[in-house]
Amino acid sequence: MWLAMILFGAFHGLNPGMGWLFALNLGLQQRSEKVIWLSLLPIALGHAIAVIAVVLLVLAGLQFIPLATVQKFSALALLAFGFYKLFNYYRHPRWVGMKVGGVDLVVWSFLMASAHGAGLMLVPALLGGSDAAHPHHGAHALPQGAGMFLAVGLHTLTMLLVMGTVAWVVYRKLGLAVLRSSWINFDLIWAVALLIVGSIALWMAFAH
């Protein structure tokens, strides 16, 4: 579970479309390096909120629905979303504007993360982790919840670190021309990843 959280965090961190490029752009536009680093914080926050929203939803669900059912539902949701994304990987939320403040960035990042299913992707890992420690729902939800929030924190921290590193390397060393050669189709990879994780989760849910 922890490894998955870190890996997905790193993936979001690498993807220029998920934050670091926006931060870098704002810094360049305002001719201030400080702006680059400060902009990363609201972006990470927005991302975390999007993920936490899903976690809360899952925790709420666990109060009423058996874990195994939640696992199956989330796996199916992932597969359906992955399938949709596979053919619509290029669609993103329309959100027009370059002159943004901190709140704007939080909202933008929240939208991007939600629309890409960043939170949904983490559900199988979170459920898997809680499953191992606590096979039943109900009274144990709180400690489960604490573990989940820790996992989300770790995920977001990884994303922030990777975003910061990439932004620093591009800003200081590589230059923006690197976008032309290295901005690979993260959206397509993500769609495939959604499908893979969904399949594994479904298999695990039924293997119980």
Partner 1 sequence: MALWKPDPSFYPSAKMAMQAPPERHAYVAALNPAGTDKPDAICVVDLDPDSATYAQVVNTLELPNIGDELHHFGWNACSSALCPYAPHPHLERRYLIVPGLRSSRIYVIDTKPDPRKPQIIKTLEPEEVMAKSGYSRPHTVHCGPDAIYVSAMGSANGDEGPGGIFMLDHFSFNVIGPWELHRGDQELAYDFWWHLAQDVLISSEWAKPSQFENGLVAEDLLANKYGHRIHFWDLRKRKLQQTIDLGAEHQMLLELRPSHDPRESYGFAGVVVSTEDLSASIWLWYRDNDQWQIKKVITIPPVPADEKDLPDLLKGFKAVPPLVSDIDLSLDDRFLYVACWGTGEMHQYDVSDPHNPQLTGKVEIGGVVNKKGHPKVEGPLLGAPQMVEISRDGRRVYFTNSLYSSWDDQFYPDKMTGWMVKVDVDPGGGISLDKDFFIDFGETRVHQVRLEGGDASTDSYCFSS
What is the contact surface with partner 1 in residues (CB under 8 A)? 16-17, 21-22, 24-25, 28-29, 31, 89-92, 94-100, 108, 176-177, 179-185, 187-188
Which residues fall within 8 angstroms of residue 25, CB to CB, at 6 or more apart? 98
Nearer to partner 1 by Cβ, of 25 and 165: the residue is 25
Look-up: residue for tokens 């899952």? 58
Which residues fall within 8 angstroms of residue 116, CB to CB, at 6 or more apart? 18, 85, 187, 190
Nearer to partner 1 by Cβ, of 97 and 207: the residue is 97
Locate 198 and state its tokens: 């969904």
Smallest gap from Cβ 179 to partner 1, in A, equals: 5
Locate 165 and state its tokens: 């590193």
Q: How far apart are the first and last CA of the chain?
A: 17
Smallest gap from Cβ 183 to partner 1, in A, equals: 5
Nearer to partner 1 by Cβ, of 100 and 141: the residue is 100
Nearer to partner 1 by Cβ, of 87 and 142: the residue is 87
Nearer to partner 1 by Cβ, of 81 and 186: the residue is 186
Smallest gap from Cβ 100 to partner 1, in A, equals: 7
Smallest gap from Cβ 95 to partner 1, in A, equals: 7
Distance CA 55, CA 144 (A): 11
Smallest gap from Cβ 25 to partner 1, in A, equals: 5
Distance CA 22, CA 43 (A): 9
